[in-house]
Structure 1
Amino acid sequence: MDADLVLETRGLTKEFRGFIAVKDVDLRVRRGTIHALIGPNGAGKTTVFNLVTRFLPTSGGRILYKGRDITATRPAEVARLGMVRSFQISAVFPHLTVLENVRIALQNRLTRDTYRFWKSERCLDRLNDRALDLIESVGLGGSEQQKATDLSYGRKRALEVATTLALDPEVMLLDEPMAGMGHEDIGRITALIRRLAKDRTVLMVEHNLSVVADLSDTITVLQRGQVLAEGSYAEISRDPQVRQAYMGSADAMSH
């Protein structure tokens, strides 16, 4: 395996009762890059995410993480190995504060014993410094004592990123991180993802083509569960098949 590859799929396939949702997908995600997965609705993007994070069993093919075959590995173990999908530990507790949410996520990183999940206040206080650093890193400094339910949508997504970062992932998978956001929040989260990518690898599904063009090093385009094209935004945006398949018109991907 190429030493630069952190995640690779070979012939990845998923069938649901005769319907082939993903077929022979070869994905090669290079270490330290932002890799986007795009395509029209129903192209199989989220299914690929569910397969590589092991929330769905494969029907065929192999998944390699840092050269290790994880095709049959359990989701929790995949996360411990360093590949984390944002929702895996970012089910934010709405009536806890920003600080409490991040401390609980850090606590989850420190123990594999689920029966010890709820720890004493004194034990959690030891995590404060790291929690405050994470909160600051996602642009939520000063909001430590604010309840999650009172955060705007974009700031709540930033909190989810902080709880994901608490697992210290090497690879972060972000499923439509800009969904439902206004222009200001999109700018904030785009800047956050760019900062995160300096120290880790990001694989994301995203519909906002401006964001994809701005952030991505490599883009894989899916159509009907298969890879249609791969390359930089400049390369795929010139491909008439991609423009037709993704947006329905030959000039829709002009940026």
Structure 2
Amino acid sequence: MAQPTTHVEERPRGGGTATGATGQDIVLSTEGLTKEFKGFRAVNGVTLEVTRGTIHALIGPNGAGKTTCFNLLTKFLTPSAGSIRYNGRDITGMKPADVARLGLVRSFQISAVFPHLTVKENVRIALQRRKRGDSFDFWRSETVLRALNQEALELVEAVGLSDFADIPAVELSYGRKRALEIATTLALEPEMLLLDEPMAGMGHEDVDRTAALIRRVSANRTILMVEHNLSVVASLSDRITVLARGQVLAEGDYATVSKDPRVVEAYIGAGHG
């Protein structure tokens, strides 16, 4: 398995509350999760448990089934077999918007960034979405909208964009646009945040900044992320699930899975050596 090349400061992280039959407080779980496309099983019998209050990474070589699994968990795909439970509730047949209302939110799922609106205005629109359901209420008075400014600015500060609050989103660097997208997602008050390759396309500076942001926003919520940057995975994750050929290959902390011979073989065989 390739070793991390980008430096991200490592920090110990705590686990979930010890409750339930598994000895931990499980917020999201699957059993036998399967997705078949015309006879090909992209995800094959995946059983997964994500502990509340942790950062859990889903990794694997190209073609491992990570994206398909992630899309099943976030309800963008319907399973061929198996089940998904969130806070003990079966959500297998639910729609993405309904799951989001329960507090399970995929970043960039609902939070569109409007390029010619300012950072603050983008976050304010997301707050409108949370408070008013499916209506953005563009026609509401400026006085009513200004009442959301304080909360919007608090979210802008939380993701490190205070200096850019009045800057149009189109003028932000790529990394800061991702931070803005996370801010608009946080406006929905998610209990669990799902991140699909949050570091994709970023330079070292933006990677470090976004990793620090993920640490901050994980303080009072659970995060599941698909990520290719192994340095980020090593630094941030409490637990890692490795997929290969649509199945769970290994699971544990980074020190454990990175030394697993099956994981090393899977990554080297896929050209990641």
Which category of TM-score, normalised to the shorter sequence, fits these structures? Answer: over 0.9
Which stretch of the first structure deviates more once superposed, 43-52 or 76-85? 43-52
Aligned partner letter, 1:142? D
The aligned runs of 1:1-255 (5 Å cut-off) are 2=21, 4-114=25-135, 116=137, 119-248=140-269, 252=273
CA distances 1:113-143 after superposition (whole Å, capped 9, x unpaired): 4374654322221111110000001000121
- Aligned equivalents of 2:250 and 2:176: distance in 1? 34
Inter-CA distance 93–247: structure 2 relative to 1 (3 Å threshold) = farther
Letter of the 1:244 partner, please give it: E
Task: Kindly provide the amino acid, as one letter, of the partner of residue 199 in structure 1.
Answer: N
Paired AA for residue 232 in structure 1: D
TM-score norm. by structure 2 comes to: 0.88
Residues in 1 aligned to 2:139 and 2:258: alpha-carbon distance in whole angstroms? 49
Q: Residues 167-206 of structure 1, C-alpha deviation per residue, up to 9 Å, x if partnerless?
A: 0101000001111111111110001101111110000000
Query: Unaligned regions of 5+ residues in structure 1, if any?
Result: none
Q: Distance in 1 between matches of 2:263 and 2:255?
A: 12
Deviates more, 1:53-62 or 1:243-252: 243-252
Is the contact between residue 240 and residue 250 of structure 1 (CA under 8 Å) also seen in structure 2? no
Identity %: 67
1:35-57 superposed Cα distances (whole Å, 9 cap, x missing partner): 00000111111111111111111
**Contact 2:128–2:136 under 8 Å retained in 1:** no
Moved more, 116-125 or 69-78: 116-125
Aligned residue type for 1:66: N
In the alignment, the residues of structure 2 paired with residue 249 and residue 73 of structure 1 have an alpha-carbon distance, to the nearest angstrom, of 35
Contact 2:155 / 2:183 at 8 angstroms: preserved in 1? yes
SS of match in other structure, 2:232: helix
CA contact (8 A) 1:11 1:24 kept: yes
Higher relative contact order, chain-length normalized (CA < 8 Å, sep 6+) = 2
Runs (4+) of structure 1 exceeding 3 A deviation are: 113-120, 247-252
Distance 2:258 2:140 in 1: 51
Of 122-131 and 95-104, deviating more is 122-131
In 2: Cα distance, 1:120 partner to 1:61 partner: 48
CA distance 1:6–1:117, change in 2 (3 Å): farther
Q: 2 CA distance for matches of 1:112 and 1:218?
A: 34
